[in-house]
Amino acid sequence: MRMLINVPETVVADGLRGIAAAHPELTVDVERRVVVRRDAPVAGKVALVSGGGSGHEPLHAGFVGPGMLDGACPGEVFTSPVPDQMVRAAAAVDSGAGVLFVVKNYTGDVLNFEMAAELAEDEGIQVARVLVDDDVAVTDSLYTAGRRGTGATLFVEKLAGAAAEEGAPLERVEALARRVVARSRSFGVALSACSTPAKGSPTFDLPPGELELGVGIHGEPGRERRGMMTAGEIAEVAVDAVLDDLRPSDPVLLLVNGMGGTPLLELYGFNAEVRKVLDARRVPVARTLVGNYVTSLDMAGCSVTVCAADEELLRLWDAPVATPALRWGR
């Protein structure tokens, strides 16, 4: 596997140095692995902090900026960050109005953010947490760690970030974030496995000509393996998996997300198929975002996320945002 890196040990730090070089509007602490808005803390504003393993870029550091996150903590590749990073980020962005931790539902992220919340509260920072668990491929039962957090993280960070920017207090921002989670569902498909820099080879075995339906964003397996399908067939499986779980009565926000190794041309073609299926199921689409936003290193594949959006959520979606990866309305 050819990778555009120096050595595997420094990929996260090297990436952060690159973010710092490209985005002077962010403050990047490469050593301690904390990225915050340059103008943080913003007086009177509730702050949003997220974080997770690296390898999902632009999530989360690419979503730091006005209208979205105030801070992000990247961990090692596919490994949750440590509590020290989260506490440091919270302290850097807290204006006194409190901090919302946006946590994807993986055991490591949940445990580290839990410890961080305790430590931050010891320092006098008011902390609330929202858990994102939108992946319908995993059965939410006593026998699993629960649904994984994937594409809906972008919706939570954008919509709750917009509410915070408007001046909503912590309880309102937290409640809104929970509402977005409750109204969002995702389903992912892998056409190839991803390779971590440390391992240098694919982390799971997916023979050519097969695909994994319901894949997670770390190459975790999903519901089943099948022989190769067309974009139209994949769209049908993905959309129906989502709609089986959540039948939206409102128009939806639609994220057609690339996993990192699939060209945009293919993603747009896939989006056309997704729209066709949604039209046939009579689910109106209010807004669409197509691109690589919640990725899995070099994995080929895609995910579909819908969020049933009421008027308030639509207004917050359209609100201005200025981050490295999402930018509009200013």
* CB contact at 8 A, 256 and 288: yes
- Comparing CB distances to other proteins, the nearer of 201 and 249 is 201
User: Site residues (CB under 8 A) for other proteins?
Assistant: 53, 75-84, 106-108, 111-112, 114-115, 138, 142-145, 148, 196, 198-199, 203-204, 216, 218-222
Whether the bond into 60 is cis, omega within 30 of 0: yes
- Comparing CB distances to other proteins, the nearer of 66 and 83 is 83
What's the sign of the alpha-carbon dihedral 14, 104, 203, 213? negative
Residues 6 or more apart from 161 whose CB is under 8 A from it? 48, 63, 67, 68, 69, 321
Catalytic residue among 37, 56, 88, 147: 56
Give the Å distances, CA to CA, from 289 to 110, 234, 285, 286: 28, 18, 11, 11
Helices of type H across 167-228: 170-182
- Comparing CB distances to other proteins, the nearer of 144 and 230 is 144
- Comparing CB distances to other proteins, the nearer of 79 and 257 is 79
Q: What is the DSSP letter of 327?
A: E
How near is the Cβ of 139 to other proteins at its closest, in Å? 8
Helices of type H across the chain: 11-22, 83-93, 107-122, 152-165, 170-182, 231-245, 264-280, 311-318
Radius of gyration of the chain (CA): 19
How near is the Cβ of 240 to other proteins at its closest, in Å? 21
Catalytic residue among 102, 218, 262, 297: 218
Dihedral in degrees, nearest 10, Cα atoms 67, 71, 74, 79: -90
How near is the Cβ of 122 to other proteins at its closest, in Å? 14
Question: How far is residue 10's CA from residue 170's CA, in Å, rounded to a whole number?
Answer: 36
How near is the Cβ of 221 to other proteins at its closest, in Å? 6
Give the Å distances, CA to CA, from 137 to 134, 180, 263: 9, 19, 24
How near is the Cβ of 134 to other proteins at its closest, in Å? 14
Question: How far is residue 203's CA from residue 147's CA, in Å, rounded to a whole number?
Answer: 21
- Comparing CB distances to other proteins, the nearer of 274 and 297 is 297
218 included as an active-site residue: yes
Question: How far is residue 233's CA from residue 20's CA, in Å, rounded to a whole number?
Answer: 41
- Comparing CB distances to other proteins, the nearer of 112 and 192 is 112
Q: What is the DSSP letter of 9?
A: G
How near is the Cβ of 76 to other proteins at its closest, in Å? 6
Which residues are catalytic, by number? 56, 218
